Amino acid sequence: DTEVTQTPKHLVMGMTNKKSLKCEQHMGHRAMYWYKQKAKKPPELMFVYSYEKLSINESVPSRFSPECPNSSLLNLHLHALQPEDSALYLCASSQGGRPYGYTFGSGTRLTVV
Amino acid sequence: TQLLEQSPQFLSIQEGENLTVYCNSSSVFSSLQWYRQEPGEGPVLLVTVVTGGEVKKLKRLTFQFGDARKDSSLHITAAQPGDTGLYLCAGGDQGGKLIFGQGTELSVKP
């Protein structure tokens, strides 16, 4: 299995809703990432998990809450989002902490209304 | 802060033409990667270059890493409509983060 699977593919949520994005990989990668991408822009790093521990938080607002239940799963919990948070949310994984090639999921297209 | 300057940002060419995309920085990177992204999908890794001066070929795509490991280029020979997409270079910094260039949006018209 050489894929990163993200669910759901599309999500529309109100500003008072609570929702979660899920990411799964079975490549044995020990580092997992959340990125946010706006249209026509490069991905922006949000969080890095290394060996199931949060190692980097790029000053992301607390309305985004990551969770790594085990080495194969990564969640992003969403609460009280703003319309400007609408974007493509990408999960990625890589071997260890050195960026020798990331495998990205197809992303979740999030719309906040 | 390490930055990657990617150029051009937009490129529209006819099928069969050649093109080169550049990725430059004033900083040294431990590795550079090139990704291609189609609309609504995640980036797909094309290649990772690690050694200064390294050249890698992937069918009609040729990737080069500068001798000083500060820059890279992607050359596409005889572009095809299927090459259309967003091309991203990305560099690995010493802190374990992947830094992306601004991307090059390539459109190849039949």
* Between B2 and A35, residue with greater pLDDT: A35
Amino acid A40: pLDDT: 85
* Between B7 and B92, residue with greater pLDDT: B7
Give the span between the Cα atoms of A5 and A26, in whole angstroms.
9
Kindly state the average pLDDT of the residues B68-88: 96
The residues, any chain, with a CB within 8 Å of residue A75's CB and separated by 6 or more, are A20, A21, A22, A23, A66, A67, A68, A69
In 3-state terms, what secondary structure has residue A82?
A: coil
Give the span between the Cα atoms of B36 and B34, in whole angstroms.
7
* Between B96 and B5, residue with greater pLDDT: B5
Q: Are B97 and A103 a contacting pair at CB < 8 A?
A: no
- Smallest CA–CA separation between A81 and chain B, in Å? 21
The answer to whether A84 and B26 have CB atoms below 8 angstroms apart is: no
- Smallest CA–CA separation between B28 and chain A, in Å? 14
Say if residue A21's pLDDT is above 90: yes
Amino acid B52: pLDDT: 92
pLDDT band at B55, cuts 50/70/90? very high
Tokens of B79: 């572009």
Selected residue of A21, A89, A100, A103 to mutate for chain B interface (largest B Cβ count, 10 A): A100
Peptide bond into B81 cis (omega under 30): no
Kindly state the average pLDDT of the residues A18-43: 94
pLDDT tens for each residue of A52-109: 999 989 999 999 999 999 999 999 999 999 999 999 999 999 886 555 689 999 999 9
The answer to whether B108 and B14 have CB atoms below 8 angstroms apart is: yes
The answer to whether B72 and B57 have CB atoms below 8 angstroms apart is: no
Amino acid A26: pLDDT: 92
Amino acid B30: pLDDT: 83
Q: Are B42 and A109 a contacting pair at CB < 8 A?
A: no
Contact of B85 with chain A, judged by CB distance below 8 Å, is answered with: no
CA separation, residue B57 to residues A55, B61, B87 (Å): 34, 6, 16
Amino acid B1: pLDDT: 67
Residue % of chain B over a pLDDT of 70: 96
pLDDT tens for each residue of B16-44: 999 999 999 998 888 899 999 998 899 99
Kindly state the average pLDDT of the residues B33-60: 94
pLDDT tens for each residue of A40-54: 899 999 999 999 999
Write the single-letter amino acid at A17. N
The answer to whether B75 and B88 have CB atoms below 8 angstroms apart is: no
- Smallest CA–CA separation between B84 and chain A, in Å? 14
